[in-house]
Chains A and B, each alone.
Chain A
């Protein structure tokens, strides 16, 4: 029973990264129609930035969680203004290819600068160690990751439902034709929304830095699972991205615990099943594709 609770927490912690990053991916797809292949690279950049800030400026995790998403937001804005915006009127495939190329570029640049063996990163003292919760020993940091990302998702949810920009994003994501027909000017929000999505990916990266190897390749596998997450949750749905993120984290953890040989394919089996039963994803809208 102890082990099961530990698997549960591990799954929710791993799911937190997926949920945050998938949220960013879903928002970018919803408003821009861009399938952002570079999301994994942005996640990696977030982790690298956190490590570099710690190494050069001594900024601990607390600072990293604040500073890195802001930096990633600005970087996202740059990418959108310089590259993505030109291909928006075209078939989404073009931006997909663009972001794929961007990934290769970013990964290689990081490799050149920092090598492949990874960067060190230390947890602040408060988050180190374990706590004993009703007899089950749980790492402090995993609990923190889960609670923190849940909070962020909640804040984003509030933004989506209580603010004007939130309503515009939701409208554009879930009912784009109707939004445009009602005269909502989606295009002026395109750049900040892209930046916001990238910031979320970077935030996931910062959270991952203490207990994942910070290597240039860390985003490569991540993006593939992220796509599965977004497909399971539903390409047009924000709630779906978050729920599917945590769900996939749990499937991964329990899969590894009870069927280790199949653990990697279980997520894709789940994706296949969801697509067969509900092609639009668990929460997706019918016309998403």
Chain B
């Protein structure tokens, strides 16, 4: 009954109710969309980092974690890989050989991380092969081919099919030099990665080192990251001599963003609701002051003060939820549209890539935001209505009935 009366009461002044309802709807539509852009941006960055580089988790030798020397490789790497491939939830495994070295061209040089891969295995774990800008991924039988980042190519003034000289320390501590032919260039949307990372075939690398293939890093892709911690814990138990780390531990800054993302969203939406709170309070106060005689009558005929209190509260909740639901629907529609077509920010792509952020954004929102936001709207409505409700119940019926 109270709810029915509250709903009918808010439409007594249609214009005023529509104004505040629109304010709530527009505020929440914009708030949700902006939140979706922010959330989508960071979600995409995290996904890209996992997809292009890290995988869901990695294994290293403990010594390698302390000092990434070429000699600190994973013992019996092939056995470890075979064992990992038998694990349920493991989709793909890629063993990598990682050597710090120098890349040089006739005009310039720079420090690089040389990653030796088995291209078919690597393609199952990471998606870097999808980001080739020129040429092809490492899939030919030609020896000594290399793929480098566009940023590095620019820095060394090299192009497709150019020669690039890599120098690095071998297992016997001697310096190894070799020339590689650029088969392709990639752009991963992280300019730091593109400038400092090169990929070669493991077979080419170990032909130069004159050593059987060794792995410094084993990257693993799971079918989902839902049980990441549990699975990595299990793997750690199986290989106590190795350091098993999830992407959260490998990229703690991204992990922090991932954990904080939801909180930032709620804070942002909370600020919008706080601003709307004052408007709702104002409207409810006006509504109560206009109905002083009616409230006096209601209490006179026997409506308890607690019911009068809740009547005002329910009116605020009804008004806020009506606007809130419209805002959530429109915000979700807007998010869904742009989640499909994307937002092209290539105009500021350079700046974004320096943070490892893609220039093509796909807004998204976690499903948990909807019930939480609904709850926040109700709380906002209740808080905004407390002052007007108190005003209503403090009326003296005998005076209120006779007021003008």
A and B found bound together = no
Please report B residues at the A interface, Cβ cutoff 8 Å.
none
